[in-house]
Amino acid sequence: MEATKISSCVIDIQGMRCQNCVRNIEKTIGEKLGVTDIQVDLEKKEGIVQYDGELVNPTQISEFVVAMGFASKVKTTDISLGSQQNPTNTISNEVQIIKNSENNVVNDQNQKCYIKISGMTCASCVAAIEKHTVKMNGVSKILVALMAGKAEVFYDKSLVSPQAICDWITTLGFPSNLLDGTDRTKNNDVIQENGKAQVELHIGGMTCSSCVYNIEMHVAKMDGIFQARVALSTQKGMFTFDPDRIGPRQIIDQIINLGFEASLVNQGMERSMSHLDHRDEIRRWRNSFLVSLIFGLPSMIVMTYYMIQMEEDEHHHTNMCCIVPGLSLENLLLFILATPVQFIGGRHFYVAAYKAIRHGTTNMDVLVMLATTISYVYSVAVLVAAMATLQSTSPMTFFDTPPMLLIFVSLGRWMESVAKGKTSEALARLLSLQATEATLVELGVDEEVVSERSIPVELVQRGDILKLLPGAKVPVDGKVISGTSTCDESLITGESMPVLKGKDSMVIGGSVNQHGRLFMVATHVGQDATLAQIVRLVEEAQTSKAPIQQLADKVASYFVPMVVTVSLMTLVAWIIVGFVNVDLLPVSEMEKEAYSQAELTFQFAFRCALTVLSIACPCSLGLATPTAVMVGTGVGATNGILIKGAEPLENAHKVKTVVFDKTGTITRGFPMVTTIVQLVDDAVFYLPKMMAIIGIAETNSEHPIASAITKFVKEALKTDLVAKCSDFHTVPGCGLRCQVSNLDEMEKSLLQSPLAQERLKGSLSKRDPSSPSSLVVIDTSMVKPTLVALSRSESNKNSCFDVLIGNREWIRRNGLDVPAEVESKMLELERMGQTVVLCAIGGVLVCAIAVADTVKPEAHLTVYTLKKMGLNVALLTGDNKKTAKAIARQVGISTVYAEVLPSHKVAKIRMLQEKGEKVAMVGDGVNDSPALAQADVGIAIASGTDVAVEAADVVLIRNDLLDVVACLDLSYRTVKRIRLNFLLASIYNLIGIPIAAGVFSPLGIHLQPWMGSAAMALSSVSVVCSSLLLKCYRKPAKEKLETFSYVKARDTRNLSISDDDLSLPGEVTSKSLGSFSAINRILRVKPSTHSLLVGTDTEDVELGDASHHDASESYPLRKMVSA
């Protein structure tokens, strides 16, 4: 074992903004060769790094940080930490157990692995695995998910290996396989670790060692290959390479060029699908049921026949005996039929029960085996005793119990496995979206196809150019480089309508190209793709446990011992009753005549005790939560709502306050043109031509307002801005001046543009609602024909227009006056939080353009609905008070926290939590990460393909605020279903066990053991089926939420809003529900009045609260939607 000298250094790191930066640096630098540990302090802006001086030095570490985009320099170096033994060779696959598991503490140095576990049937199995695995030396924590059949294990890689953990769980009686670990990542079939990648290939056509040498030699010479190993016996090869320089496809091509066949060893999809649909479990329990049925059905017929014979008057019990003394034909037939069922049909129960008892735990299998074994052994014992004593009658036996009980239990397990497979349908459907092949093309200079070929999707690499034909699945995430089409993204984002795709549009892997041919460049492949991220998040969510499930697991761990105790008490109680007074036993007169007091007492007592063992069911308790969580998270994923675990799913329904970020959440996150105030008539200066000149002038500016105007002009005119712009001059903070000429090439296209067509129709109401330009108000109230006219005939090849665009000061500085009515209009727009620029062409003011970060169309309805659900809504933003209040008024939010730095947003969330409220924070995940993490439920709105926002508990893929309402509603429905499941399971056991124990026998209500087993099977299946009803969930649609009361409130608000609409803090008004401005922009109606936005100078602004109107109108969403 080799000693390694570890040193430490302090690195100064500038540019970090939040804990995401800290985690990113620690993860990236920690994976570098030679770095053993790194801890970054955000407040001190430094990182303490432990490293092996023989492999890396502090300067190199600092350069690594700089390469990540942060400013860095070395503070102190060469702080020796002494020598420590290299633990690499001490990791053992041997199972090491320590008695005190408290020494295993979860910390940042722990690794995480996922293990597939089969054979679990109830919460007792989960408790047994967690209890014994956490005792392993090096295992810090383990979370086992019953429904997902997976375990998440945190371990110290220097003390134990993932394979050793798998082996240990297997010895507990639950076959296990390693799925993945965090010390390496797997992209399709490529394993990446420490900057290197490995791929295993199947190689065909090798005949001798010369073939092996030939492949290894030629592949090893390729640029980026570290190692090539080929095995002739297995016809496989393992290749280690640099993923930044070469990929699996090049390796496969090289092997094929050598004359051999090569393909990826694909292990992933089929195995995942088999795991999700529980196909192995279904097959096992189906076979067990069939074996039990083959022998159990004849057993039932025999039992029924002799029961009918006994009820006939002329038959007596002695008449049916005996083949040999003490052995009747009935008992002989039942013995012959019960024996194969006991030892063949019940072998799965025996094996599982034995392993559980061997490790000191109990589960459902133990109860089943106790009931069947006791009944079988008791029956054999009394039968042998009767034969040995040469009895004239054959004793009553329970040979009918094992086959009948195992029939119903195995049938229940079979049905339960099928139902559990249904709970994973959403995840299986997501996996099935993955395309299997992609068309790789090479494009020429003029974008013509030079070559194309079909390749497996696993071989697609970043930067590849792919062709998408109509009807084809998009293989990976990418960007369109040419072509126009629409894509169906409904199964990924929940967007029901096809999404238009053109040049530079992003496409998502798994969506379906509908009618046009597209060429795309791959940007995210393998585990980086959106679909893979969604699948991973859903799997992790289904692996996690809700807090309510932990209570169920604890109850289940005590359930089996408690049931055994009740069964023994039942046995003893009825034995005492029988010996005290046999007439108190609720048995028939025929039985009293046929058997002695002792025989009758023991038979009845054993029957009741066996029935208690048969009917008790911890499975239903254990399945109540995980089945509902699995269906709930799956339904959420198919509706574009990614819930990252059972805990946020449960906590979301407790939320009392919803806090929204402004930029990118309530608003679109980028400036847009909102209003064009036309100052000259179309006869003086044609509006489309006016906008074209302004757009051409703004193309040379990089200012955000210029970008917004240019984007609007291109959208409205549907043409490229190809005219000439010269003498361009800009003054920061004021505006620009230039000359625009050569418009003749655009004249025809301007006449055919959507904006020109709308002007000809005299209406703007027929625009495409999906177009950004459709939200722009064209205000013609300021048009005055008396202004100086510009003749349209001046537009010729040599015409040149002098253009001025900027603020008031810039216009006046260039010799133009701003009329008082124009000044008044600008003030009106600015009071609504908009930025206004004036435009002059040829020395004449032609228009004023208002630009703002516009409110999302669904924001007002979202806030209204949340308030109707009885929730408080607040706005939390770093923007200035004036803009924040304007936005809040537009959407109906009454509580505003403005000018709050990102680092201080956490304090605001904490302040609300200290009031005893459960808080949900809704943000875009960029600068809101600390606040999202602090909130009880962090909801992030994903942008594009970024669905893995680390700090958030919930990610909304569709970028639709109404999904916030759907998330809370889904949480409520899921928690309601969990509670119903617990109620069903609890009532079943609380009522079923007393009935089985014979408490109600005096009333004529009693059960046979096989009846108990049938009821037990039914209880588990009923709980799973109850959870499956969640699949019928449909999230609230916009049409349902726009109720009559909402429309009425909105219209009333539009008509009655005035300057004195605002209230002081604490006042209540019913007119603060929303602002006319956002709604009117959406409806494209020019407002006749405006609101003067005023307020206090305090940071927290309280506006009129619409949520405090008549309490009778504040009711949960579920009632509103159903109404």
- Report whether 913 contacts 933 (CB < 8 A): no
90 secondary structure, DSSP code: G
Going by C-alpha positions, the residue among 1054, 661, 704, 673 that lies closest to residue 854 is 673
Residue type, 109: Q
Q: Checking DSSP bridges between strand 657-661 and strand 872-876, what pairing results, if any?
A: parallel
Q: How far apart are CA 328 and CA 395, in angstroms?
A: 9
Q: In what order do the strands lie in the sheet with 485-488?
A: 499-501, 485-488, 512-513
Distance separating alpha carbons of residues 736 and 837, to the nearest angstrom? 11
User: CB–CB of 1074/864 below 8 Å?
Assistant: yes
* Distances 273 to 270, 280, 427, 431 between C-alpha atoms, Å: 5, 11, 9, 8
Contacts of residue 46, defined as CB under 8 A and 6 or more positions apart, other chains included, come to 10, 11, 12, 13, 40, 75
Question: And the tokens for 787?
Answer: 């202004």
CA distance 584 to 570: 15
- What angle, 0 to 180 degrees and rounded to 10, lies between the N-to-C axes of helices 597-615 and 364-388? 160
Q: Which two tokens stand for residue 685?
A: 């200066």
Q: Tokens for 423? A: 């709970």
Distance CA 1123, CA 1114 (A): 14
Which residues face 171 on adjacent strands? none
Largest alpha-carbon pair distance within the chain? 130
Report the helix count and the strand count for the chain, using DSSP H and E. Answer: 36, 38
Q: What is the DSSP string of 21-89?
A: HHHHHHHHHHTSTTEEEEEEETTTTEEEEEEETTT--HHHHHHHHHHTT-EEEEEEEEEEEEEEE-GGG
- Relative to beta strand 937-941, strand 954-956 is parallel
Q: From the candidates 156, 189, 553, 661, which is the catalytic residue?
A: 661
**Angle ∠(907,912,915) on CA atoms, nearest 5:** 125
Q: What is the DSSP letter of 840?
A: E
Q: How far apart are CA 443 and CA 459, in angstroms?
A: 19
Contacts (Cβ under 8 Å, ≥6 apart) of 374: 606, 609, 610, 613
- Confirm whether 661 is a catalytic residue: yes
**Residues annotated as catalytic (active site), given as ranges:** 661
